[in-house]
Amino acid sequence: MKINCVECNYPVGLVLSTDDDPLFQVTEEVRQRILCHDCNERRYAERQKALIVLVALFTTISGIAVWLTPSSYNRWMLLNVALTVLLIGFSILPHELGHALAARILGMKIFGVEIGVGPKLFEFRWLGTDWRVKMVPTYGIVTAAYLPRYSPFRTFLMVLAGPAVNALIIIALFLIGPEHLSVSSSVDSGILFGFDLIFANAIILLVSIIPYRTDSPQGRIASDGMKLISIIKSLSDSVETERSYWYQIGSVEYRYGNYVEAREAYKKVAAIDHYDPHAKLSLASIDLLLGNYANARELYLELLNWPKLRGEDRASILNQVAFTNLFIGSDELIEEADQFSEEALQSDLEEGLFYGTRGAVLVLQGNLDQGILHLHQALDRLVRPEDCGIDLLFIAHAHYMAGEIEEATTAIEEVAELNLDYPLLTSTAEMLEKRRQTSAPPVEIRTSATSSSSEADMFSQKT
């Protein structure tokens, strides 16, 4: 089934419908909560910004109250409470640093560290990974894993390290004496910075070790306490846990654009269960991105023979086979693509991807007018810029083959405006260029998904 963001309808992924695999059971209730990364972060950041505004307002009012009546016990108390809340945001940094340092010491791969939500303030590289600090410091996450094999002990220590750092800060502050870090020794006469810092770290410690799941910019995530409990429980089912582990590694590597590493992770899943259809789907998708078209096609064809494949999923796989065939390019496979793309489209006349593939097939068969029509129908339905870019390339190719150079150039300029760095977009441009070289007038196409100096995928007439 296709999983889309409930707010912007952005395609989040394709999951094969199943009732007997807990890793891939997506109920209607779950689908109604699924958000893409951008919508998830925006919604979370809006809530956190509102909280920050309330805290800032509360702090300002408390400060004014203290200035007007400095002897008031209640008003100094309010100011210290406000300071504690502000310090909670800053106490997230050592917590995440604890996770990152532990991961580094234990030989784990750190994919990335994020502190806060909202617009990015700055980014730096340390401990061999990228650190991103954002505007609202109310959230932090370290994405790390021990790659050579599944290691619950190392993962347990890495998860435990975050709360342990907050606990050590609390102990250190008590040993130093929090009164030495305070403006006043009494809550009714000044700022108790040392005590406020203790309370802030205690809150972070408590919130992190309580087992629960919560919303985050990364979707629903487990607290450190929940993760620790899950690791302990997983010891009784090491095979299923290792399968889940490699799925997570593959997903993270894919999200960071490490497609070769993601492929290796999904191959680990396939080694655990050779018949796992979800692993085959992931491997096929990555092979398509990496240009391993024959491998991708074979995996998609194996999925078509999966006895539990449902109608909606069958249409998606047919569409993928048809699209993959375009890159292999033999006449026999183009005919198969014609059949498969038509069957997929007739099963769902509202799916933009199906219109796009059908249009691309028609263009390569020389039916340019119908191909362009289908591709424009795809653009009317698609949300993902990557999919739009590919369809625009086929539109440009069709116009070029029809001798309509101005229209072709316009389509290519639209691709350049998307400013995409996407392997399949580059592969599509290269495939179409080879076709032009063997059957077209002397026109060259320059491809660069990210370079502004070469104007991505711009046509230029040879003289």
Write down the pTM of the prediction: 0.71
Mean pLDDT score, 238-265:
84
pLDDT confidence of residue 453: 33
Q: Give 51's contacts (C-beta < 8 A, 6+ positions apart).
A: 138
Given a cut of 60, whether residue 1 has pLDDT beyond it is no
Both 112 and 181 in one domain: the answer is: yes
Whether 129 is in a domain gets the answer yes
Confidence grade of residue 448 (pLDDT, cut at 50, 70, 90): very low
Find the range with the poorest average confidence among 47-56, 217-226, 304-313.
47-56
In a 3-state reduction of DSSP, which class is residue 297?
helix
295-311: pLDDT as tens digits: 999 999 999 998 888 88
State residue 248's pLDDT score.
83
In this structure, are strands 129-145 and 213-216 parallel, antiparallel, or unpaired? unpaired
Per-residue model confidence as pLDDT tens digits over 141-189: 888 876 666 678 888 999 999 999 999 999 999 998 877 766 555 555 5
Query: Furthest-apart CA pair in the chain: how many Å?
Result: 89
* Domain shared by 9 and 152, yes or no: no
Owner of token pair 């296709």: 2
- 7 and 142 in a single domain? The answer is no
Same domain flag for 192 and 67:
yes
Mean pLDDT estimate for the chain: 81
Does residue 462 carry a pLDDT above 50? no
The pLDDT of residue 114: 85
Residue 218 pLDDT > 70: no
274 domain-assigned = no
Q: How much is the average pLDDT of 121-129? A: 81
Give whole-number Cα distances, 273 to 245, 277, 407, in Å: 14, 9, 50
Considering its fold, how many domains does the chain have in total?
3
**Do 91 and 12 fall into the same domain?**
no
pLDDT the model gives residue 18: 57
Please check whether residues 230 and 149 belong to one and the same domain: yes
Write down the residue that tokens 């560290």 correspond to: 113
pLDDT confidence bin for 450, thresholds 50/70/90: very low
* Token representation of residue 86: 């502000």
One-letter identity of residue 345: L
- Highest mean pLDDT out of 87-101, 219-233, 252-266, 323-337: 323-337
- Checking if the pLDDT of 445 tops 90, the result is no
Let me know if 320 is exposed, middle or buried by CB neighbors in 10 A (0-12, 13-18, 19+).
buried
Q: Are 246 and 259 in contact (CB under 8 A)?
A: no
51 or 30, which is more confident: 51
| Tens of pLDDT, residues 358-403 | 999 999 999 999 999 999 999 999 888 999 999 999 999 999 999 9
Same domain (yes/no): 133, 26: no
Beta bridge partners of 3: 13
> How many Å apart are CA 368 and CA 7, to the nearest integer?
35
- Are residues 27 and 41 part of one domain? no
- Same domain flag for 397 and 463: yes
Predicted confidence at residue 421, as pLDDT, reads: 87
Q: How confident is the model at residue 233 (pLDDT cuts 50, 70, 90)?
A: confident
Its domain, for residue 12, covers: 2-31
- Which range of 102-116, 147-161, 306-320, 337-351 scores highest in mean pLDDT? It is 337-351
| pLDDT digit string, tens, across residues 408-424 | 999 999 999 998 888 99
Residue 20 inside a domain? The answer is yes
Which of 70-84, 322-336, 365-379 has the lowest average pLDDT?
A: 70-84
The residue type of 379 is L
What is the pLDDT, as a whole number, of residue 401? 92
pLDDT digits (tens, 9 = 90+) for 258-281: 899 999 999 999 998 888 899 999
Q: Which of 185, 218, 234 is the last residue of a domain?
A: 234
Instruction: Spell out the long-range contacts of 228-236 with Cβ–Cβ below 8 A and sequence spacing 24 or more.
Output: 228/156, 228/159, 228/160, 231/152, 231/155, 231/156, 231/159, 232/156, 234/152, 235/152
Examine the domain organization and report whether 225 and 111 are in the same domain: yes
| Token couple for 345 | 């489209």
* The pLDDT value given to residue 459: 37
First-to-last CA distance in the chain?
50
Residues with Cβ within 8 Å of 392's Cβ and at least 6 positions away in sequence, in order, are 375, 379, 411, 412, 414, 415
Indicate if 45 and 65 belong to the same structural domain.
yes
